[in-house]
Chain A
Amino acid sequence: GESVGLHLPTLSVQEGDNSIINCAYSNSASDYFIWYKQESGKGPQFIIDIRSNMDKRQGQRVTVLLNKTVKHLSLQIAATQPGDSAVYFCAENALNQAGTALIFGKGTTLSVSS
């Protein structure tokens, strides 16, 4: 079936650098996407979301870009800090038998060194 995936499993950056985490999705019918951050042993933490009628959305130090033409989603983190070290997942709101559910990609581990 269709699923959300990520290009790179790990990303290492220096403190202060900008980070870009990518995600490719395959379900063209998905209308809503979320980026989550997960620290070891904890549940996912919401970072930012975007609906399919938008191309870009900005939050505090984070920006999500959506390219529906090539089914690509990215998360940009400005001035990356050691506290940003975690696993980042994109999730798409996909149809299932019960309505819709968030389907997660494989995850990218971000390591920030100071």
Chain B
Amino acid sequence: GAVVSQHPSWVICKSGTSVKIECRSLDFQATTMFWYRQFPKQSLMLMATSNEGSKATYEQGVEKDKFLINHASLTLSTLTVTSAHPEDSSFYICSARQQGGNTEAFFGQGTRLTVV
């Protein structure tokens, strides 16, 4: 089956530093990747949609200069949280679609970010 791998699974960083999270589709080419954020006991909130070779499209309220997304290849997307603050601590999850439209999206295992 389609597998999406996310790395790291957890990370602790100091305030003011930047953290990069990788999302890889292991056995398929992902034309579109998505980044979600999930706070405790809440739902997944879509942050941005990333099409390979294009700039990411951010949801309203998500700072594009703070959450840098790169989707340089059909198997890799990265999310960089720049100048992290404690309020950025959350569970970040990526997903990938093999083709556009109304098809299943496969999810990574998530990255727990803690900013101290």
CB within 8 Å for A99 and B102 given contacts A43-B110, A105-B43: no
User: Which listed residue, B32, B44, B109, touches A104 by the CB 8 Å rule?
Assistant: B44
Query: Does B57 touch A at the CB level, under 8 Å?
Result: yes
Provide the B81-109 mask, 1 if CB < 8 A to any CB of A, else 0: 00000000001010100001111111111
Give the residue name and chain of the B residue nearest to A49 (CB).
B104
Interface size on B, residues (CB 8 A): 31
Question: Are B93 and A100 neighbours in the complex by a CB distance under 8 Å?
Answer: no
Give the residue name and chain of the B residue nearest to A5 (CB).
B43
Query: Does B51 touch A at the CB level, under 8 Å?
Result: yes
Q: With A and B bound together, what is the CA distance between A102 and B51 in angstroms? A: 15
Q: A96 to chain B: which residues have CB within 8 Å?
A: 46, 49, 57, 59
Q: Interface on chain A toward B: helix, strand, loop, or mixed SS?
A: strand
Question: Are B59 and A104 neighbours in the complex by a CB distance under 8 Å?
Answer: no
Question: Are B110 and A41 neighbours in the complex by a CB distance under 8 Å?
Answer: yes
Q: A89 to chain B: which residues have CB within 8 Å?
A: 43-44
Residue numbers of A with Cβ under 8 A of B are 31-32, 34, 36, 41-46, 49, 51, 89, 93, 96-107
Give the residue name and chain of the B residue nearest to A9 (CB).
B41
Q: B64 to chain A: which residues have CB within 8 Å?
A: none
Q: With A and B bound together, what is the CA distance between A62 and B103 in angstroms? A: 19
Give the residue name and chain of the B residue nearest to A102 (CB).
B105
Given A32-B103, A96-B49, A99-B101, 9 further pairs, Cβ under 8 A: A34-B104, A36-B107, A43-B6, A43-B108, A46-B104, A97-B57, A99-B100, A101-B46, A104-B45
Q: With A and B bound together, what is the CA distance between A103 and B100 in angstroms? A: 15
Give the residue name and chain of the B residue nearest to A44 (CB).
B107
Q: B95 to chain A: which residues have CB within 8 Å?
A: 43-44, 102
Q: With A and B bound together, what is the CA distance between A101 and B59 in angstroms? A: 11
Question: Are B46 and A107 neighbours in the complex by a CB distance under 8 Å?
Answer: no
Question: Are A100 and B57 neighbours in the complex by a CB distance under 8 Å?
Answer: no
Q: A41 to chain B: which residues have CB within 8 Å?
A: 91, 110, 112
User: Which listed residue, B46, B51, B108, B110, touches A99 by the CB 8 Å rule?
Assistant: B51
